[in-house]
Amino acid sequence: MPIRRLSVRGVRNLAPLDIHPHSRVNFIYGDNGSGKSSLLESIALLSSGKSFRSTQIKQLIHHDADRLELECELDGTTGADAQTQDLYSLRLRNGDVLFRLDGSVLTSQAQVATRLPVQVIEPNTFRLLVGSPEDRRQFLDWGVFHVEPGFIEEWRIFRKVLKQRNSVLKQKEVSWLDVWDGGFIEASEKIHQYRLAYLKVFVPQFESTLAALDAEIKVRLHYYPGWEKDSQLKDILTRQQDRDLQLGYTQSGPHRAELRIRVDKLPAADVLSRGQQKTVVAALKLTQGILYKQSCGNAPIYLVDDLASELDSRHRLALCQVLEDLKCQVFITSIEKQQLMDSWTPSEFKVFHVEHGKIEEESLP
């Protein structure tokens, strides 16, 4: 569902805004510090509840405000019965959060994310390669969550069982471990199978997408489920029981899974240049969008912040071509307007200029 109207209040240095973006491509340009990234950050926050620039949500709230408000009107799916939906989010400085869809309260961020799937490509996006296993695990689960409706409930069940097992370990209640291990193993296997099924289609599509961006980069994806390969989780839990009791938490399971990204046998982050790393991460995120569209019929929204950062003109053109083929809604920023237009000249687009926190749509010739 593309965004038809976007309203932002109380976010960083942005003045209150109401814009009507294009359903396809939106070019946003302005000086550093003008508010371009804050606009994209607002959309990402509404979708995921997270910022790609800060771990502290309260840092996003304007220093003179006690809240931030985000609202967007989403286009319905195509067809005679298509209807728009109004999605609203309120965040207070004290941490309280409210979500509404067409006036009705939503109870979780996951309910928002299913209606507003967003992918972000930004200057620090290479952290997906150099960051923690949790970063790559969350990336993998974004894809599974959005194409497998049953995954989120199984994940909640798994997290509940994991919490209970860890509580038993901390209290040294050895006699209760057998009770929880059965449920833990069952829930773990379901999460594992969801991820395997997704990766079965993800890996070949990723290889194709990466080749479209740069055929010279050779990267392979390896999935580590969170326990030793070719071993049964039951046997590993038995073998690690004494150590788990000593540590007070479960060492092995889906919560320790990782998507390992390698060039030959080395981590890709140790081999590739920063520009190549960004190209690989762009291919990963584009692949998720392609699979999402194949599964759901609509593409996610792409937020591309600072297009020129560490990508030369050839790779910028290749990235934009994949986005063009995906026919998704895109918000893309750069300092220079001409640099954006040189990288991409889509048939349908709008141009917005940001200056001192104020955003204005430019008339096209």
pLDDT in tens, 13-65: 899 999 999 999 999 999 988 999 999 999 999 999 888 888 788 888 988 88
For residue 327 the two structure tokens come to 């026919």
Average pLDDT on 268-274 reads 91
Q: Is 30 annotated as a binding residue?
A: yes
| pLDDT for residue 80 | 42
Determine how β-strand 258-263 pairs with β-strand 266-267: antiparallel
Average pLDDT on 194-216 reads 96
Q: Is 200 annotated as a binding residue?
A: no
Q: Is 35 annotated as a binding residue?
A: yes
| pLDDT for residue 348 | 87
Q: pLDDT band at 266, cuts 50/70/90?
A: very high
Domain boundaries, given as residue ranges, for the chain:
1-117+337-365
Q: pLDDT band at 77, cuts 50/70/90?
A: low
The more confident residue out of 255 and 297 is: 255
Q: Is 66 annotated as a binding residue?
A: no
Tens digit of pLDDT for each residue in 121-155? 988 888 899 889 999 999 999 999 999 989 999 99
Q: Which of 154-163, 271-280, 335-344 has the highest mean pLDDT?
A: 154-163
Q: Is 298 annotated as a binding residue?
A: no
DSSP-derived 3-state class of residue 297: coil
For residue 70 the two structure tokens come to 């985000």
Q: pLDDT band at 82, cuts 50/70/90?
A: low
pTM (2 d.p.): 0.91
Q: Is 182 annotated as a binding residue?
A: no
| pLDDT for residue 59 | 84
Q: pLDDT band at 81, cuts 50/70/90?
A: very low
Q: What percent of the chain has pLDDT over 90?
A: 66
pLDDT at 270 over 70: yes
pLDDT at 79 over 50: no
From the centroid of its chain, how far is CA 326? 17
Average pLDDT on 337-353 reads 84
Average pLDDT, the chain: 90
**202 CB-side CA count, 13 A:** 25
Homologous superfamily, domain 1-117+337-365: P-loop containing nucleotide triphosphate hydrolases (3.40.50.300)
Q: Is 94 annotated as a binding residue?
A: no
| pLDDT for residue 342 | 78
Nearest to 13 by CA among 37, 30, 29: 37
Contact (CB, 8 A) for 211 and 203? no
End-to-end CA gap in the chain: 28
Residues in the chain: 365
Tens digit of pLDDT for each residue in 95-127? 899 999 998 999 888 889 989 999 999 888 888
Q: pLDDT band at 78, cuts 50/70/90?
A: very low
pLDDT at 76 over 80: no
Q: Which residues contact 308 (CB under 8 A, 6 or more apart)?
A: 316, 334, 335, 339, 343
Average pLDDT on 207-222 reads 95
Q: Is 166 annotated as a binding residue?
A: no
